[in-house]
Every structure is written in C-alpha cells, then in structure tokens.
Amino acid sequence: MLKTFPKGGIHPAENKITSSKAIQRMPVPKVVYVPIAQHIGIPSEIIVDRKDKVEMGQVIAKSGGFVSSNIHTPVAGTVTKLDMIVDSSGYKKQCIVIRTDQKNESNFEVKEYPLLQEITMSSEGILKRVLDHGIVGLGGATFPSHVKLNVKESQHIDCLIINGVECEPYLTADHRLMLEKADEIIVGVQILLKALHIDKAVIGIENNKKDAIKVLKQACLHDPRIKVAALKVKYPQGSEKQLIKSILNREVPKGGLPLDVGVIVHNVGTIFAIYQAIQYDIPLMERVVTITGKKLDHPANFWVKIGTPIKDLVEEVGGIPEGTRKIVNGGPMMGKAIKNTDVPVTKGTSGILIISESEASRQESKNCIRCSNCVFVCPMGLEPHLLMNLSEKGFYERAESEDIMTCIECGSCSFVCPSHRPLLDYIRFGKDIVKKLQTAKN
C-alpha cells in the first residue's frame, strides 16, 4: 500500500502532457519586468534608479524585513523605468523594468555547472547565503526560505521533507527538474541537513512519476539519511499539512506550523535553487515553468528568467490557440486566471495553463442537494456547504467557529460539487471578512 493522507482528497484528470519534454532554455527576453512583491511578506525595497546599469545577478531590491527577500536582476542591462504592472494577483504592483543589454556577453553565454558534491560552507554561511540570494519557496507559496530554516533553540526538528509531489494536474516543472537534476537535488538536501543539524530527510513523490522516483532512489543510495517515499496519487497531497500526514503520519495542529511537529518542508525547486546558491553562488534568477494546454502546438517546460512576460513564453510554444477563453498562472486547481499575457513570470510561477472554450466556462449554480461530497473530499475536515451558506448570509462569527480559517483553498469542494456551487469562492470571501474582523478586534 502506498502512503497517503487519510481524510478527503480527489483525483482530477492528470493531463501531464509535458512530462516527457526535457526542460529547454528560453531565449533571453528583450525586456524584463521584475515585480518587487514576489514573495509572501513585506515587499522588497528598490535600491536602483532609472538609467542605472545593472550587472547579471545584482541585487536590485533589498529585503524589507525578516519575512521578505532580496530580488536580483536576471539580466545585465539598463533600468528603464520603475513602473506599476498588473501581476498574477490582478492588482497593480510596483516593478522594475530592465532592458537587456544585447552586447553584454554574460546575458547569452550558457555556462555548464558540473555536479559539485563536497559541501564546504558552514551551516551559518548556508543560512546567510539562502537569505542573500533571495531564495523563496518555489512550489507556489513563495514563502521566504530563510525564515523556514531559521529554527530557534527551543524548537526541536527531526525531519526534513522534500516536496516533489506536484499534485496539480498539467504541471510537470518539478517532475522534469527531479529527472534532470537528481544528483544536484540530493546535494541540495545534504546542504539543508547540514544547515539544520539533522539526519533524516524524506523526498515525497506521487506514484505517477515512477521515473523520477527511480532516478532519485538511485541518486540517494550512497546517503542513508535520505529516503524517497512513493505516495498514492491524490490531490491535494502537495499541501504541506497533507504531505506531512502522508509521510510521517503527524498532524500539524490547527493554526500551527510544520515546526510544531518537528518538520520542515521544502519544494524540490527550492532545493535546487539552494544547491546553486551554495555551490555556485548563483542567486535565484530563473526557474522552471511548464507552459501547457490541450490546444497548444508545442507545450513545453522552460528555464525562464524571472520577469519574462508570459507572452514571450506563449510565442515560444506557437502562440495562443484559437478559442482560448482562460489563461491560468499555475495549475488548474489553485492557479490564478490572468487577464492578459503581459503579466511577468515571478518566483512563484510554476506553470502557465491555456484553457479553451469548452473547459473554461462555469456551469450555472443550482440548489445544494446535500449530497455530502464536499464534506467527504475536504482534506481539512470542514463542511464547505455550511461555510458557503454562512459567508453568503453574513454569519461570519459562526463561520469562524466552524473553522473557516483553516481552509487551505485547495478547491476540492468546488471541483466535486454536482450542483456546480461556487463553494470556494464564498469560503474565500468569508475568510477575507473574518480576517478583517479579527484584525479589527485586536
């Protein structure tokens, strides 16, 4: 029996069209738009000005606090503007526009980085490097990694979990990375084990990526501290809390963090970024992005520089197909629909999904027939139908006492609802108001 979390979960059609496509390198974009709020927490502070010349990898926005991160320019060139741009959240955010210097060679040379297994850096040095090099969680939540690694004396950590689950349908960025950079990822895990002073790490991978499981098992044979766990395919297993439950059978308490059960979780993409930062001193400037959709000519996986407009990616795979009704930044379950393709790729962009007419539109919402499906699939043990009613009718305090704030917004309830009720929409709305009421109270 493969491991998985016991309560709830769904199995949407996987549609991993690009899983056999090797990661290609995107051509260097002419202009990059680097937003300064790419991570959860305080936005970074811009430290460059118009007409400044910047070198590749230079810090252009400094960390604005503890829960914040540095941002580096992914190209060498000139800052043309400090502008406002609509990012994937749909809000206008401040961003730094940099025109690529076409004559600067560092923009175009493709360096080879051979595997470097020896870890010479001290654990303090590793933590500082992770902070300096702007590394955030690349799974999509973009939580600054140095905050997670900053474990206080009083907290006891015994296990590091590497999230290679990629439970979202369509996306294959992590899958390809694990296949192509398995050895580097294992070194990355060793780096973190050293930084955290622990000797147990588990890489969790869903069983629909058998090749990745095999490759990683092979790669970690020489290190008994690292294990690979094959997990049953079930959404939302990539969610931190569900993953810990699946692998270690520990339950993160309500309102708590993985730290409370002695675990730290990092995404495989983050691990690779940490490897590059520690062994080759490369800051986080690019990431793997899957660009996919059933109607696309050449769906693919790319190494993309942060700040590249999504339209460059779309052109690279043959343009937006006829009849496209929705463009999603991320996967189909939790991704955000974006208005146009001017939105730039940020540290949290794991994929771009192009959805055509037939799948894009929602069906009309009908009466709840109390079929209990939403209750059965909720991985957090909530009652989505009740929470929707409470937020719709304005009973926010009752919603709070029904644990609306523990919802992880995985969308399983809306996915299964046979009456097509917008359960998660209303739950999000209710959460928003409950949060405001909580802040007002304090």
- Which 265-304 positions form the footprint of another protein (CB under 8 A)? none
Q: Which of 27, 65, 318, 381 binds another protein (CB under 8 A)?
A: 381
Q: Which of 185, 328, 343, 345 binds another protein (CB under 8 A)?
A: 328
Q: Is 254 in the site for another protein (CB under 8 A)?
A: yes
Element (H, E) at 353: strand 351-356
Q: Which of 3, 81, 99, 428 binds another protein (CB under 8 A)?
A: 428
Closest to another protein by CB, 119 vs 247, is 247
Cis previous bond, 224, omega within 30: no
CA–CA gap between residue 199 and residue 177 (Å, rounded): 24
CA–CA gap between residue 255 and residue 371 (Å, rounded): 29
Closest to another protein by CB, 50 vs 325, is 325
Binding segment toward another protein, per CB under 8 A, in 208-216, 262-270, 310-318, 371-379: 371-379
User: Considering the complex, what minimum distance in angstroms separates the CB of residue 260 from another protein?
Assistant: 5
Q: Tokens at residue 368, please? A: 């709840």
Site string for another protein, 166-195 (x = CB under 8 A): ---x--------------------------
Binding segment toward another protein, per CB under 8 A, in 80-88, 100-108, 111-119, 372-380: 372-380
- Positions in 129-168 near another protein (CB under 8 A): 155
Could you count the other beta carbons within 10 Å of the beta carbon of residue 97? Answer: 19
User: Considering the complex, what minimum distance in angstroms separates the CB of residue 411 from another protein?
Assistant: 3
Q: Is 359 in the site for another protein (CB under 8 A)?
A: yes
Q: Which of 40, 86, 121, 337 binds another protein (CB under 8 A)?
A: 337
Size of the site for another protein (CB under 8 A): 75
User: Considering the complex, what minimum distance in angstroms separates the CB of residue 56 from another protein?
Assistant: 34
Angle at 416 between CA 412 and CA 421, to 5 degrees: 95
Element (H, E) at 319: none
User: Considering the complex, what minimum distance in angstroms separates the CB of residue 406 from another protein?
Assistant: 7
- Positions in 394-423 near another protein (CB under 8 A): 394, 396, 403, 406, 409, 411, 414-416, 418-420, 422
Can you point out the beta strands (E) in 28-91? Answer: 31-35, 45-46, 53-54, 59-62, 71-72, 77-86
Q: Which of 24, 106, 249, 372 binds another protein (CB under 8 A)?
A: 372
Binding segment toward another protein, per CB under 8 A, in 19-27, 41-49, 52-60, 362-370: 362-370
Q: Does residue 49 sit in helix, strand or coil? A: coil
Q: Is 424 in the site for another protein (CB under 8 A)?
A: yes
Q: Is 256 in the site for another protein (CB under 8 A)?
A: yes
Could you count the other beta carbons within 10 Å of the beta carbon of residue 158? Answer: 13
Q: Is 382 in the site for another protein (CB under 8 A)?
A: yes
193 and 199 Cβ atoms separated by less than 8 Å: yes
Q: Angle at which helices 173-180 and 210-219 pack, to 10 degrees?
A: 40
Closest to another protein by CB, 25 vs 339, is 339
Element (H, E) at 281: none
Q: What is the DSSP string of 384-412?
A: HHHHHHHHHHT-HHHHHHTTGGG-----H
Tell me the CA distances in angstroms from 243 to 80, 117, 142, 301, 371, one per residue in order. 43, 28, 17, 25, 28
